[in-house]
Amino acid sequence: PNHEQAAEAVRFIREADRFLVVSHVNPDGDAIGSTLGVAWMLKQLGKEFHLVNASPVPAKFRFLPGAEWIRPPEALRSAAPFSHVIAVDAADAERMGEARSLIAEDAQLLNIDHHATNDRFGTSNWVVPDAAATAQVLANLVEALKLRWETPLAACIYTGLLTDTGGFRYSNTTPAVLELASHLLKQGVHPGEIADRVMETMTLGQLALTKRALDTLTFSDSGQVGWMWLKRRDFEEAEASEDEMDGIVNYARNVEGVDVGILFRETDDGAIKVSLRSREKVDVGELAKSFGGGGHARAAGCTLEESPEKVEQMVLSRVSDALKRGSS
Ligand code: 5GP
Ligand code: MN
Ligand code: MN
């Protein structure tokens, strides 16, 4: 089945000359690494490509080769509509945010992803829930297209693999992941430099935001759930942007005895973005999906348009139900 989907992806790419490559809002390392990975492939094939993201590229990924190619939707308005689109690391069309407006109504869309909650919104879909990262699926595409593993391409794929496995620590770190990582290092990727930039460097805004979030850390009576809040004021006073909250939710999940860590964040338009992480008992991907979001069993998210009190109460009660079911 993987072969068939790879062959279909190859056909999709061979058939057209001009592509839009898009990933999800608030992009992480897999979203950016995969967008750029596809770009380097299309470049090697001599195709015209345009890269878009509804959110700015987080500062820590701007060192990646080709990062400046990723433009906001407004900048591509005059080149739209696009009739051939490749979406990477996006579980549903909604996740592309404002970038959707660049896509022709009757566009051919190749959806390459690894979220179990992916709703197959493409006209072609290559979804591998067992893959640790979309970047891992793309490594198969490089092979299927018989392309050379240039160093910039390898570095982008490596970044997606590194970040979606939490630095090769999460349970999705399989032998195949480490074999691919080994292969990428042989292409000249510098693992120390990439890890330093994307995992080991904290901005002052991120530090200030972390302090504020930790001040709100609260635990359930059982100690199995820990949650934090970040309100709009926190971002203002910490002089931090949205992408600087990356990783903060882990502080709640990492506490001994906690299975589910939650970060509630008030967005600029007053909605509440919920980030969920779990150790083993609760499938937070399914839980987030029940609120209209999605993700993976151990990391997921959703956005709710209710008051902060209501959102906290709804999410905590569903987490508590899930924990009861898991342990009964
Ligand atoms: P984060 O909490 O870091 O924003 O997201 C964690 C994981 O959940 C990522 O894999 C991300 O793609 C997914 N995710 C977060 N928010 C949403 C959402 O609103 N919808 C869907 N489908 N997935 C989400
Ligand atoms: Mn992602
Ligand atoms: Mn991913």
Q: What is the ipTM of this complex?
A: 0.95
Q: Report the pLDDT value the prediction gives residue 327, as an integer from 0 to 100.
A: 53
The pairing of beta strand 225-230 with beta strand 260-266: parallel
What domains sit in the chain, N to C, each tagged with a CATH number?
2-198 (3.90.1640.10), 205-327 (3.10.310.30)
Tokens describing residue 105 = 């109504």
Pocket residue to mutate for ligand 1, from 26, 115, 253, most atoms within 8 A of Cβ: 115
Q: Which of 86, 70, 77 is nearest to 32 (CA)?
A: 70
Question: What is the 161 CA–ligand 3 centroid distance (Å)?
Answer: 8
C-alpha–C-alpha distance, residues 315 and 317, integer Å = 5
Which of 150, 162, 164, 165 is closest to 195 using CA atoms?
162
Interval between CA 91 and ligand 2 midpoint (Å): 9
Count of other CB atoms within 10 angstroms of residue 17: 12
pLDDT of 287: 98
Q: How far is the CA of 295 from the centre of ligand 1 (A)?
A: 5
Query: Cβ distance 158 to 132 under 8 Å?
Result: no
Q: Which residues are 20's β-sheet partners?
A: 50, 85
Distance (Å) from CA 222 to ligand 3 centroid: 31
Nearest ligand 1 atom, CA 302: 19
Ordered mean pLDDT values, 10 residues apiece, the chain (328 residues): 91 98 98 99 98 97 98 98 98 98 98 97 98 98 98 99 97 97 98 97 96 98 98 96 93 98 95 97 97 96 98 98 81
What lies within 8 Å, CB to CB, of 219 at 6+ separation is: 225, 226, 255, 258
Taking the C-alpha atoms of residue 319 and residue 179, their distance in angstroms, rounded to an integer, is 36
CB-facing half-sphere around the CA of 183: CA atoms within 13 A: 18
Q: What is the pLDDT of residue 326?
A: 77
Phi, psi for 111 (deg, rounded to 5): -105, 105
Q: Given this model, what pLDDT does residue 1 score?
A: 60
Residue 39: closest CA among 31, 29, 47, 30:
47
Predicted local confidence at residue 328, as pLDDT: 42
Atom of ligand 1 at shortest distance to CA of 263?
2
Q: Whose CA is nearest to atom 8 of ligand 1?
A: 300
Cβ 79 vs Cβ 15: under 8 Å: no
